Amino acid sequence: MCDETPHPGECNTLLIEHKPIRSTTQFLQAAVERTLDGAVRAKDDTYSLGPQFGSKQAWEDCMDLYEQTIYRLNQSLLCPKNAYSSRWDVQAWLSTALTNLDTCQEEISELGVSSHSLDSITIDVINALAINKRLETKWKEFGTSKVEMKTAPSITIGEKVDVVVAQDGSGDYKTIQEAVNGAGKRPKGSPRYVIHVKQGVYEEYVTVGIKSNNMMIIGDGIGKTIITGDKSKGRGFSTFKSATFVAEGDGFVGRDMTIRNTAGPEKHQAVALRSDSDMSVFYRCSIEGYQDTLYVHSGRQFFRECDVYGTVDFIFGNAAAFFQNCRIYARNPPSGVNTITAQSRVNPNQTTGIVIHNSVVRGAPGEQLEGVKTYLGRPWRPYARTVVMGTYLDQLIEPKGWMDWGNVTARSTLYYGEYQNSGPGSGTENRVDWPGFHVISDLEEARQFTLPKFIDAALWLPPTKVPFTINL
């Protein structure tokens, strides 16, 4: 087993420390336990390093990311005792843990700070991912025989609503954050808590924290219920902390609303929505910004009938994010170059990537994009994975399709795929000639990027009552 991990030396040390280990399952348990211990120590080390960071915000970001990592590692440890969890879940949670550590690493590297404890647990998570991948059992797929309907009935406003937010005082709360806070801590398995946000422009920053599971926020429709902010890198906020809306608690559902960042194209990174919510859904939402609009940071995420507006890297991160029946709108960038996606998978064993299915990619209404080069994506990390399937690509897409980030290695290690797209920008004859780019022709290869295969949606998506299509 150790010889097959990316870091066999550290793996052998684990074996020596935990003798005797009599099974692969016991081996994984020991690996995750050691990683958890290391994450707790790393968090303590980072706390004591506060004055050396030179940036209070980077320090706070890393502290938050360690807390989320510890949460995911605890979930992974409890998996054998939880009848509702699978090895697939563990791989998803370990993938999230590695993403969190990579985000912290990126921030402290910019400051010239190093952390031995961070490096150490990163290696442990990478090894745990490799060990668990060997243990994964085939998780039952759901097909038309088990999920007969391709669409699910929508929840009617007024039914099952727990609290109402209204600016005029006619509801239970005047702000969304007050309503979220009023729900209190909601452990995994709690009944869904529904917040109805009435029409209005809510100038506030909303966070659904990691201990707020199974929350649903329903607005009165795109352009009617609007949540807006203007934090940005240009104003001194980290990308991670610039989001107008943050979803961290698992099982979050957002419906029928607009989430904006109005910082503008000149303020650089300015996130409208950041999601770390595993098994989260966004339905009939408009997510609007410029650079770095939608931060699909981690976890399994499903977007259905959503609008996404932006310029540079405007759908980015390392979640397993699935976009279906969405409209993706490019705006006018100051640099003259748009990149729709920037996926950041750092390890080939992570279950992450971006899939755009049965959607439309075009210029935003009213935008003049003559002379603007627009690409489907560029690899933020070496194992970036993005697939576009059955999607209409307007003429704004450059013939090369994909843009380099100056990392020659990534051209071989990434996975970019296109399958049966249409429209004037869908021709693949002049696409990049990288080893990692694929014009997918094999049906079985394409099926790896459907809802059942890619985000294991069999158990968690139907109860949200959001429409979905399971086939190509």
Asked if 296 and 315 touch (Cβ cutoff 8 Å), the reply is yes
Asked if 263 and 289 touch (Cβ cutoff 8 Å), the reply is yes
Q: Any catalytic annotation for residue 172?
A: no
Q: How many CB atoms lie within 10 A of CB 460?
A: 18
Tokens for 201, please give them: 């422009």
Question: Is residue 319 classed as helix, strand or coil in its secondary structure?
Answer: coil
- d(CA 393, CA 409) in angstroms, rounded, equals 28
Backbone torsions φ then ψ of 64, nearest 5 degrees:
-65, -40
Which member of 313, 394, 433, 456 is catalytic?
A: 313
Give the list of residues 6+ apart from residue 380 with CB closer than 8 angstroms, or none.
313, 316, 342, 343, 344, 405
Tokens for 335, please give them: 């640099």
Asked if 78 and 188 touch (Cβ cutoff 8 Å), the reply is no
- d(CA 251, CA 296) in angstroms, rounded, equals 15
Select from 249, 291, 256, 251 the least CA-distant residue to 270.
291
Write the DSSP assignment of 77-106 as a string of letters. Answer: HHGGG-TT--HHHHHHHHHHHHHHHHHHHH
- d(CA 32, CA 76) in angstroms, rounded, equals 7
Select from 149, 177, 179, 147 the least CA-distant residue to 162.
179
- DSSP H or E segment with residue 124: helix 116-135
Give the list of residues 6+ apart from residue 56 with CB closer than 8 angstroms, or none.
50
Q: How many CB atoms lie within 10 A of CB 227?
A: 25
Task: Give the active site residues.
Answer: 313
